[in-house]
Structure 1
Amino acid sequence: MDAAHFLGFSLLLLAATLVLASVTSVLLVDAARAIGGEFADFLLEKGPEKVMRRCLMGWGFAALWIAVRRAGWRGWRDCGWTAEGGADPDCLSRRDRVLRGAGIALLTMGVLRAATLAMGAHSWTPMDMGAAARVAVAVRYFAAGLVVALIEETAVRGILYRVLARVAGIWPAALASSVLFAAAHYLNPDSASFDGSGFLSRCAAVLQSTLAFSDLTPWNWFSMLNLALMGVMLCAMQQRTGSIWMCVGAHAGWVFIIQTFHFFSDYSVAFPWDILLAKHANATDGLMTTLMLLAILAWLGAGRRTGECRVRLGGIAWRTPPGARSEFERWMERNRQSFPGGGAEYKAYPGCRVALLDGMVFKAYSWPGGIASARFALRPSRVLKAAAAALDLRAKGLPVAEPVAWAVVRFAGLRRREYLVTREIRDASPLTGLLKMDNAEPELRRAVLAGYARLAAAFHAQGYSNRDLKDENVLVENGRPDGMWAVDLDGVRYKGRVSRRRARKDLYRVGKSLEAAGWTRPEDVSAFFEAYNAAAPMRLRAKAFPA
């Protein structure tokens, strides 16, 4: 079923759901009033409008089941409880996912509600309750939050969003399911609409009052917008993790904090900053909530690349490109005893070791000691940047080493170690060896310089700066002196549009490598820049290496 047909079919089901819920609720309310007794007390305890909301929920689940079945839902195994393909992309158990989500709730909604207490927007309600009674209330809200979160996340993010994403794409699915999620919180029929004469007229009145959104004051429109934004954020959370369990933890944590806060605190009418910290206990009507949700959404969007796989091996959570996971697992199985201390060592210095092992080159970083360890622990990962740059550059056709896997090991949020594994470039040797040839033929020199220049120009043409394109980080194909590969991308940064100043700094580093080898004679410089100017953007053209 394509997106247009699914939309039309879903709208018909939505209309049928509203009509059937109105008719069913009127029938149930009439039956309760006629029968009386405990049945009426149970059904009408919180008013006829509660009956309508429960009927909407029941018919809504039935309509959802019909709609997603038509769109290709694969049954109870397709509820978002496991990641697509059955493998958790972050190598975390369901419990850990739920706990992470609950931690996000505590660090966001918990901190926000604590701020409202500290600033006087709310105050603790004096209660004559013992400690046991308070704990019982908290446990009840915790259980209720978990049940509500599991049901809603399974229905909305696990089924509706995921099926919609297959039919219409990620963003349309996220927006549609989130708007529906937010609107459902404000379907509030008027209890007076259940009174009156005539069965059909009362059904029509209930339906009309339900769709009137009478609770939507200007303040509540802002609250509804935040609820929709929360839905988008939970969709992003499901998209990033591959399953609903972090969504369940976050949703349950928010419900628990909101319900307990509502029970144990009162709103201070004198507080002047309502729009900032929110007036309602659910905090959906505050600007800080909007900023909080946008921050979480930005954090989720800045996560792993689309299609990236994750696998836990040797106690380390590795990231791999989709096609390399099985090969890397086999490689790690074969070399479990040799990694990371074995292999043929290329180079080593404090805090870094590069070695060749069984067809792969790995670079292992660790704390170098002294003050440098603090910098290593706190600064952003070089490995993650290098791997992301390599994947992008390879997709654009640049000759760079292929990343097979990478990992960052942290303790208490601080980097302890990191690894990057790339495929060995066979039948190639370091450029350093060619540059050491004192009696190289002029044709060979021109070919080597032209290849080096084209490699530097290729980075700049694609919007990348490579501040460390020195000879030891470049391999030359055997028998093809102008065929060069960049193998160390720690110094690569995406600039979008490389400036002349940035390009000159990159060329300065290249010039120093050639100067140290005695390859900066006038004819050498001329050969280099002839090839560079032919491949680089016009604004970056030059005639000599910067001094």
Structure 2
Amino acid sequence: MADVGLAPNPRWGRDLCAGAVFSAIPLFCCGALLIAFHVYSFRHVFAWSRFGKVLVASIIVPFVEEWFFRGIILGVLLRTGRKYIPILAVSALFAVVHFLKAPERTSAIVTWSSGLNSIAHSFGRVGDPMMLASAFVTLFFIGCILADARMLTHSLWLSIGLHAGWIFGSGTFNLLARRQALALPWLGKNLLVGIIPLGVATFTWVVMRIWLKYDRASKV
């Protein structure tokens, strides 16, 4: 781990739980306000089968992506001796990969051309300037927050917790409520796209930094 700038974290459990709370709770509070203002409305049925998938994704995806983006790639780039350029580069890559992810059920029937169809649908989203600005900027900023958590703790546990909380919060809320109307650039297809989610992510970042300041000071 030392080769990529990571160190053992004796407070890994504390960081993991704190990260999940800092990212998920503000999302749920934001969702509650959106329901109160009739931007979203409750669904009649809760899809428990899909909730299981959200739960599994919240556990597996953060570990895989944080090790890849903030662990390996960022760690290698940091060996150049620079700090901010690697963070910005990895965050941009993180945003692009997630933004270009093909929509669900792009191809109803799997054929030899299904992969090409998915790629075409992915790049088709770039043609929407408003979606590009809303999705990319939010995802880029989230990537910067995750990188900042990694840099401040010299480990991936806090960023894994933050990542897990965002996936769980956004995924669960989408199962609880449906959007009444698309309100770009304020709010996109979910609670992780748009100016409002950007503000919520900023709040999470501020809370994370304040907590780290006092938590790390308490062990001195």
TM-score range relative to shorter protein: 0.7 to 0.9
- Deviation per CA, 1:401-427: give whole Å up to 9, x if none: xxxxxxxxxxxxxxxxxxxxxxxxxxx
Inter-partner Cα distance in structure 1 for 2:101 and 2:53:
25
Inter-partner Cα distance in structure 1 for 2:173 and 2:163:
15
Residue 291 of structure 1 deviates from its aligned partner by: 2.1
**Aligned partner letter, 1:180:** L
**Larger RCO (CA within 8 A; separation ≥ 6):** 2
- 1:150 has 2:59 as partner: no
Partner of 2:219, secondary structure, is strand
Partner of 2:178, secondary structure, is strand
Inter-partner Cα distance in structure 1 for 2:208 and 2:23:
14
Alignment match, 1:123: 41
**Larger C-alpha radius of gyration, 1 or 2?**
1
Residues 207, 162 of structure 1: alpha-carbon distance in 2 compared, 3 angstrom cutoff: farther
Instruction: Write out aligned runs for 1:137-536 (5 A).
Output: 137-167=50-80, 169-188=82-101, 206=116, 209-210=119-120, 213-216=123-126, 217-221=128-132, 222-269=134-181, 275-276=185-186, 278-281=187-190, 283-298=191-206, 317-318=219-220
Inter-partner Cα distance in structure 2 for 1:298 and 1:231:
15
Residue 206 of structure 1 deviates from its aligned partner by: 3.3
Partner of 2:125, secondary structure, is coil
Inter-partner Cα distance in structure 2 for 1:99 and 1:303:
12
Partner of 2:99, secondary structure, is coil
Inter-partner Cα distance in structure 2 for 1:155 and 1:291:
26
Residues 153, 119 of structure 1: alpha-carbon distance in 2 compared, 3 angstrom cutoff: same
User: Does the CA-based 8 Å contact 1:78-1:159 persist in structure 2?
Assistant: no
Partner of 1:230, secondary structure, is helix
- 1:113 has 2:31 as partner: yes
User: Does the CA-based 8 Å contact 1:186-1:213 persist in structure 2?
Assistant: no
Residues 186, 149 of structure 1: alpha-carbon distance in 2 compared, 3 angstrom cutoff: same
Residue 237 of structure 1 deviates from its aligned partner by: 0.8
Inter-partner Cα distance in structure 2 for 1:175 and 1:114:
32
The structure in which a higher percent of residues are helix is: 2
The structure in which a higher percent of residues are strand is: 1
Alignment match, 1:371: none
- Deviation per CA, 1:115-138: give whole Å up to 9, x if none: 2112111111112x6xxx74x654
Inter-partner Cα distance in structure 2 for 1:212 and 1:118:
33
User: Does the CA-based 8 Å contact 2:16-2:160 persist in structure 1?
Assistant: yes
Partner of 2:151, secondary structure, is helix
| Aligned residues between the structures | 212
Residue 295 of structure 1 deviates from its aligned partner by: 3.8
Residues 78, 144 of structure 1: alpha-carbon distance in 2 compared, 3 angstrom cutoff: farther
User: Does the CA-based 8 Å contact 2:30-2:200 persist in structure 1?
Assistant: no
- Deviation per CA, 1:19-68: give whole Å up to 9, x if none: xxxxxxxxxxxxxxxxxxxxxxxxxxxxxxxxxxxxxxxxxxxxxxxxxx
Inter-partner Cα distance in structure 2 for 1:114 and 1:208:
34
Inter-partner Cα distance in structure 1 for 2:124 and 2:153:
37
Q: TM-score, normalised by structure 2?
A: 0.79
Inter-partner Cα distance in structure 2 for 1:184 and 1:214:
14
Residues 284, 137 of structure 1: alpha-carbon distance in 2 compared, 3 angstrom cutoff: closer
**Aligned partner letter, 1:206:** L
Inter-partner Cα distance in structure 1 for 2:59 and 2:90:
21
Residue 254 of structure 1 deviates from its aligned partner by: 1.0
Q: TM-score, normalised by structure 1?
A: 0.34
Out of 21, 27, 43, which is 1:103 matched to? 21
Residue 303 of structure 1 deviates from its aligned partner by: 7.8
Residue 179 of structure 1 deviates from its aligned partner by: 0.7
Residue 220 of structure 1 deviates from its aligned partner by: 1.6
**Aligned partner letter, 2:28:** G
Residues 97, 300 of structure 1: alpha-carbon distance in 2 compared, 3 angstrom cutoff: closer
Superposition RMSD on alpha carbons, in Å?
A: 3.5
Residue 263 of structure 1 deviates from its aligned partner by: 2.1
Structure 2: runs of 5+ lacking an equivalent: none
Residues 225, 274 of structure 1: alpha-carbon distance in 2 compared, 3 angstrom cutoff: closer
Inter-partner Cα distance in structure 2 for 1:223 and 1:121:
19
Structure 1: runs of 5+ lacking an equivalent: 1-73, 197-201, 319-547
Residues 106, 297 of structure 1: alpha-carbon distance in 2 compared, 3 angstrom cutoff: closer
Partner of 1:214, secondary structure, is helix
User: Does the CA-based 8 Å contact 2:184-2:194 persist in structure 1?
Assistant: yes
Residues 178, 268 of structure 1: alpha-carbon distance in 2 compared, 3 angstrom cutoff: same
Partner of 2:124, secondary structure, is coil
User: Does the CA-based 8 Å contact 2:4-2:79 persist in structure 1?
Assistant: no
